[in-house]
């Protein structure tokens, strides 16, 4: 799964996990957002919540990461999303940058 999974934050915490997964799937399937075929979406609880989205191909994840402003629209509200590459293993460089 390395290189195919992105971590997404910024969607509303009050959104039920299944609905968040649906909204994120729709957003990241759209080609205008750099998206493509998705293998898996997992919404993880927490404060703030985050989601791990695994794409069928690593090229799609790379395209997603190149898009500067991902905004999830729910009703009339716009939620800016933070999208980063999800490292399967803990990378010491990532820990130091935090």
Gap between the Cα atoms of 17 and 38, Å rounded: 17
pLDDT of residue 35: 95
Sign (positive or negative) of CA dihedral 62, 64, 65, 67:
positive
What tokens appear for 49 in the block?
A: 């919540």
What tokens appear for 50 in the block?
A: 């985050």
Q: Which residues pair with 86 in a beta bridge?
A: none
* 37-71 burial: b if 16+ Cβ within 10 Å, else e: ebeebebeeeeebbbebbbeeeebbebbeeeeebe
pLDDT tens for each residue of 78-98: 999 999 999 765 445 444 444
pLDDT of residue 36: 96
Q: What is the pTM of this model?
A: 0.84
Is the pLDDT assigned to residue 76 strictly greater than 90?
yes
- Quick one: DSSP state of residue 34? T
- Quick one: DSSP state of residue 28? H
Gap between the Cα atoms of 68 and 75, Å rounded: 22
* Domain range summary for the chain, segments of one domain joined by +: 5-47+59-77
pLDDT tens for each residue of 8-63: 999 999 999 999 999 999 999 999 999 999 999 999 988 889 999 999 999 999 99
């Amino acid at each position: 799964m390395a290189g195919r999974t992105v971590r997404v934050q910024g969607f509303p915490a009050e959104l039920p996990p299944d609905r968040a997964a649906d909204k994120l799937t729709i957003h990241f399937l759209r080609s205008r957002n750099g998206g493509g075929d998705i293998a898996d979406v997992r919404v993880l609880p927490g404060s703030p919540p985050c989601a791990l989205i695994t794409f069928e191909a690593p090229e799609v994840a790379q395209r997603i990461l190149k898009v500067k402003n991902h905004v999830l629209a729910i009703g009339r509200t716009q939620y800016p999303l933070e999208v980063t590459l999800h490292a399967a293993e803990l990378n010491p460089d990532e820990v130091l940058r935090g």
